[in-house]
Structure 1
Amino acid sequence: MNATHKDYFNDLLENKAVILQPGEGEKTGLGGFSCTFKVTSELSGNRLGIYEITLPPHTIGANLHYHRYMDEAFIINKGVLTIQLADKMVEVAAGGVAYAPRFTPHGFRNNSVEPVTLTLIFNPSENREGFFYGLIETLSEQPVDPQKYLKLYHKYDSFPVDTENMLPVK
C-alpha cells in the first residue's frame, strides 16, 4: 500500500488571487494606442486574458476578423467604441458590453474625437500577450508587411474576413 494518503473528499483551498489597481499591470503600446496586461495567460493557465486597451481618436483596433477557439468580450470604460459586425457598425457607449463568440466576424475602432478605453477579455487567452507584442513590432515597421501581419494573426487564432482589408490602417 502507498504510504502517501490523498484526500479525495475535500477541496484544497489556496489563495491565488491577484489584485491590480488602476494603472497597474505591464503596459505596451505604439503612438497613442496602449495595452495593459491585467490578467495574463500565465496567471490563468491560458484560460483567461484581461487587457485594458486605449485607442486614440480615429484609430482602427482591428478590421473584420473572427476567432476559431476564443470568445472575445469588450467592456467600454470611457468613450464610444464602434463595433463592426458582418453587416453593420454599432456604437457602444461607456458602460456597454459587446460579446463576440468564436466564429463571429467582428472588428472595432474609435471613430470619435476622444480616446476610448476598454477592457478586452479573451476566453481562453492562449498566450494573447504574444499577439500584442507582435502587433506592436509589426505595426512599427514601415511599410507594414501584410504577410508578417497575417502570420501573427494566424498564430494567435485570428482570421481576417478579407485579407485585402486586414491591416488596421486607414
Structure 2
Amino acid sequence: MTNQKENYFEDELENNASIIKPNEGEKLELNTISITFKVTSEMSNDQLGVYEIFLPPMAIGAKLHYHRFMDETFIVDEGVLTMQVGDKEFPAEPGTVAYVPKFTPHGFKNDTNEPVKLTLIFNPSQKREGFFKGLHETLSEVPIDPEKYLKLYNKYDSFPVDTSNMIPIRD
C-alpha cells in the first residue's frame, strides 16, 4: 500500500472554462420576451447565473420584488430599460450596470417603442433556470393562476412586494 502525501503547496489546474458565443445557449420564449441561458447553475456549481433577456416594446420583465439569498446585476446592452428600485424609477441606457443586492425591492420593464436587450446576472444562481422554465409554463396559462405564480416565485427566492400586483402584465 502506497502512502501518497497530499500536496498542500501546489494548485491542481483544471480546464473547465465555458465559452458561450453570441447566438449560443438554451433559449426560452415567454410570450414576446426571450431568455437565453448563457452561464447556468449546473455550469457554475450554483454560484452564478448569466442570462440574456430580450424585452420587446412595452414589455414588463418583473414587477417590484426582492430576493433573500441572491444578488442580481442588470447590464443594459441595447435600448432603454426602465429600472424600479424601491419607489423610484429611472431610465437605464446601454452600458448601464445596476447592482441590486438581496433584500432590495426592484423591478424592470421596457417603457419604449424600441426593444431592450440586457444581461442579467444572479449570484448565487440558485437554479434560476427552473424559475424561468416555470415562468414559461405559468405565464402561458389563461388565465394566469396567481397562487401558482407566487409558489414559483417563492421557491426560487423571489418575493413580490405586493402580491395583488405581481403578475408582469400591463393593466
Residues 1-170 of structure 1 aligned to structure 2 (within 5 Å)? 3-170=3-170
TM-score when scaled to structure 2? 0.97
The amino acid that maps onto 1:119 is T
Q: What is the DSSP-based 3-state SS (H/G/I as helix, E as strand, rest coil) of the residue aligned with 2:43?
A: helix
Deviation at 1:2, TM superposition (A): 6.5
Q: How has the CA–CA distance of structure 1 residues 9 and 81 changed in structure 2, closer, same or farther, with 3 Å as cutoff?
A: same
Which is further off, 62-71 or 5-14? 5-14
The amino acid that maps onto 1:65 is H
Q: What is the DSSP-based 3-state SS (H/G/I as helix, E as strand, rest coil) of the residue aligned with 1:13?
A: coil
Distance across 2 between alignment mates of 1:32 and 1:142: 15
Deviations 1:111-138 (A, max 9, x none): 0101100000000001000000000100
Distance across 1 between alignment mates of 2:57 and 2:81: 10
CA contact (8 A) 2:160 2:166 kept: yes
Distance across 2 between alignment mates of 1:54 and 1:43: 22
Identity of matched residues, %: 64
Q: What is the DSSP-based 3-state SS (H/G/I as helix, E as strand, rest coil) of the residue aligned with 1:44?
A: coil
Number of paired residues? 170
Which is further off, 93-102 or 1-10? 1-10
Distance across 2 between alignment mates of 1:136 and 1:145: 13
